[in-house]
């Protein structure tokens, strides 16, 4: 008989961006690492897109890719890092996915004779999906994060499904947590609770009584704030908990455990506390290492979405959680490559840097600025890490300035390039739609012996996650290799190059895949380890 999961439903009120994703992931981290529970998180997003794959980074931040190729909201990356586990499509749900499932069923005739409605058909589909996740993962607890804010049209039917879930599961099986924001206007100098009260009352008007209220804010909540929130929400004071802004999100699980939210959740769900596990000590040790790290290194990120740092959040977190293993802290300098015209400007922008990352990107905007930054890194010996698009820019730069192919370019940037050293993958040429059609998810990388890549991975193969349509044009591989570029990672069967390096450079390394997608605080990716170690040592 399959294990019956219990559910924690996390909603947010007052404002969007209140930090539900970080809170949900951190709570899951405590329940898993400190109590040994099998936790299965799931994020619901109310947009009608089937997944996050076609969203512009400026609209929604980074698109995170799971092992099975599912393109998701960036919160799934937080879950993977905080829980130290890999997730799948089952951990991600959008309105588009729900409605497509229902319409497909209707067209097949599954609802013959019935008018298809939000209640019961949509709500039933949501409950079915969430319960199936618990059964499939044999989870002790399913963590359900409801995207958006209480009161949004986009999540109203989902909240109704959660109300019905609680009714059907019965007492002791569903715990509701409302994450509110406590306003503190500078002109008043005191915490104001009215917005949090109204947000909670809006939730209660939907038939959902929160069991715990988490108060977000710039500073710790005071006793008066806690008392007011308790009175207006029917939540005992001991279950009104504060979570103020911290200098490091990796401290959030520590704070949650300190205030005892994990024990309150377990009481509500009638789960035996049991003996606490030692795994959480590893997390606490990492946080101590972060605080103790003294050396500062400055890494430049040369991109074109620098106006929204969430566009590169997995890169930022990978740098943040890898550096402490080498006694360092990372400061990031953002370089908007649309403002860089040539190598001279790139050299000026990169002055004083300890390393350079050229990250993901699409289209022609800012491409020449990225090429110029790569050129400076190659010529000056500045440690360089190219990621996906950065891998392709490194090929273009090398082809132009070392191999003498002045017309070298990518057909993504210039479809009539004289020397198309980067071209679209063969299987992509016949594809018409753009949603979910890139080369996605985990694929095996064959690693060449006696290379820097082999030294980093310590293995002849690695599994890494991809998200791309273009590749190094196989026609140019012999010429690039002749002039000193080493392709140290490739597809096991085809001439699809996946890692490049320059052996005589301190660290000139680029990957067609995204090592940041698999890098976790307790297990940093080898590529980031190698890059950070070189930056710390210096040239």
- CA dist list (Å): 467 to 44, 93, 317, 471: 22, 20, 19, 11
- How far is the C-alpha of 92 from the C-alpha of 488, rounded, in Å? 34
- Whether the CB-CB separation of 513 and 465 falls below 8 Å is answered with yes
Which token pair is 31?
């329940």
CA 155 – CA 162 distance, rounded (Å): 11
Question: What are the residue ranges of CATH 3.40.50.300 in the chain?
Answer: 6-284
CA distance 477 to 421: 9
- Write the pLDDT tens digit of every residue in 299-355: 999 987 777 778 899 999 999 999 999 999 999 999 999 989 888 999 999 999 999
Q: How far apart are CA 42 and CA 502, in angstroms?
A: 42
Band of pLDDT at residue 437, cut at 50, 70 and 90? very low
Annotated catalytic residue within 62, 264, 514, 535: 514
Query: In the predicted model, is pLDDT for residue 428 greater than 50?
Result: no
What pTM, to 2 d.p., does this model score? 0.92
Tokens encoding 184? 């503190």
What does residue 482 show for φ and ψ, rounded to 5 degrees? Answer: -60, -35
Respond yes or no: is residue 491 known to be catalytic: no
- Which part of the chain has CATH 3.40.50.880? 294-537
How confident is the model at residue 2, as a pLDDT?
65
What is the C-alpha separation between 348 and 380, in angstroms, rounded?
12
pLDDT at 114: 86
Of 466, 461, 465, 479, the residue nearest 395 (C-alpha): 479
Distance CA 298, CA 224 (A): 43
pLDDT digits (tens, 9 = 90+) for 351-376: 999 999 999 877 678 799 999 999 99
Active site residue 454: no
Paired tokens of 357: 């990352």
Query: What mean pLDDT, rounded, does the chain reach?
Result: 92
Q: Are strands 439-447 and 486-490 parallel, antiparallel or unpaired?
A: antiparallel
Fold category of 6-284 in CATH:
Rossmann fold (3.40.50)
pLDDT at residue number 283: 95
229 touches 213 (CB < 8 A): yes
Are 221 and 182 contacting, i.e. CB atoms less than 8 angstroms apart?
yes
Q: Please give the full DSSP string across 132-170, using - where no structure is assigned.
A: HHHHHHT-SEEEEEE-S-TT-HHHHHHHHHHHHHHHHH-
User: Is the model's pLDDT at 12 over the cut of 50?
Assistant: yes
CATH code, residues 294-537: 3.40.50.880
User: Of residues 215, 388, 403, 472, which has the active-site annotation?
Assistant: 388
pLDDT in tens, 129-185: 999 999 999 999 999 999 999 999 999 999 999 999 999 999 999 999 999 999 988
Active site residue 388: yes
């Amino acid at each position: 008989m399959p294990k019956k999961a219990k559910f924690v439903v996390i909603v947010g009120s007052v404002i969007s961006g209140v930090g539900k994703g970080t809170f949900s992931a951190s709570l899951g981290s405590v329940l898993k690492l400190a109590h040994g529970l099998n936790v299965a998180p799931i994020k619901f997003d109310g947009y009608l897109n089937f997944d996050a794959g076609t969203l512009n980074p400026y609209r929604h931040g980074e698109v995170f890719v799971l092992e099975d190729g599912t393109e998701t909201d960036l919160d799934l990356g937080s879950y993977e890092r905080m829980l130290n586990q890999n997730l799948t499509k089952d951990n991600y749900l959008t309105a588009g996915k729900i409605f497509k499932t229902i319409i497909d069923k209707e067209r097949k005739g599954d609802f013959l004779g019935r008018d298809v409605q939000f209640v019961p058909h949509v709500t039933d589909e949501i409950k079915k999906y969430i319960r199936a996740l618990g059964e499939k993962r044999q989870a002790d607890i399913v963590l359900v994060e409801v995207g958006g804010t209480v009161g949004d049209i986009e999540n109203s039917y989902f909240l109704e499904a959660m109300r019905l879930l609680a009714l059907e599961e019965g007492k002791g099986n569903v715990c509701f947590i409302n994450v509110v924001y406590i306003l503190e206007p500078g002109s008043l100098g005191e915490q104001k609770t009215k917005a949090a009260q109204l947000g909670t009352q809006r939730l209660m008007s939907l038939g959902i009584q929160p069991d715990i209220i988490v108060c977000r804010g710039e500073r710790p909540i005071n006793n008066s704030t806690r008392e007011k929130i308790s009175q207006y929400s029917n939540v005992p004071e001991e279950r009104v908990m504060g979570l103020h802004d911290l200098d490091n999100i990796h401290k959030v699980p520590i704070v949650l455990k300190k205030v005892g939210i994990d024990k309150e959740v377990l009481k509500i769900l009638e789960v035996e506390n049991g003996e606490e596990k030692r795994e959480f000590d590893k997390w606490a040790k990492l946080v101590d290492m972060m605080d103790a790290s003294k050396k500062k290194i400055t890494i430049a990120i040369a991109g074109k979405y620098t106006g929204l740092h969430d566009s590169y959040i997995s890169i930022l977190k990978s740098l943040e959680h890898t550096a402490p293993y080498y006694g360092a802290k990372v400061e990031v300098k953002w370089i908007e490559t649309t403002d860089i015209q040539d190598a001279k400007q790139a050299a000026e922008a990169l002055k004083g840097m300890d390393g350079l990352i050229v990250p993901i990107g699409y289209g022609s905007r800012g491409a020449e600025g990225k090429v110029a930054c790569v050129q400076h890194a190659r010529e000056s010996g500045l440690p360089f890490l190219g990621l996906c698009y950065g891998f392709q820019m490194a090929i273009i730069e090398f082809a132009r300035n070392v191999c003498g192919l002045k017309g070298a370019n990518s057909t993504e940037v210039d479809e009539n390039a004289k020397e198309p050293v980067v071209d679209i993958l063969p299987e992509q040429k016949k594809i018409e739609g753009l949603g979910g059609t890139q080369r996605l998810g985990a694929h095996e990388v064959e690693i060449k012996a006696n290379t820097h890549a082999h030294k980093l991975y310590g293995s002849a193969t690695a599994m890494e996650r991809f998200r791309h349509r273009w590749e190094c044009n196989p026609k140019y591989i012999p010429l690039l290799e002749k002039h000193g570029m080493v392709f140290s990672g490739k597809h096991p069967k085809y001439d699809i190059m996946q890692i490049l390096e320059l052996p005589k450079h301190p660290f000139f390394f680029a990957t067609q895949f995204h090592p940041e997608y698999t890098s976790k605080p307790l297990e940093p990716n080898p590529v980031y380890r190698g890059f950070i170690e070189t930056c710390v040592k210096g040239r």
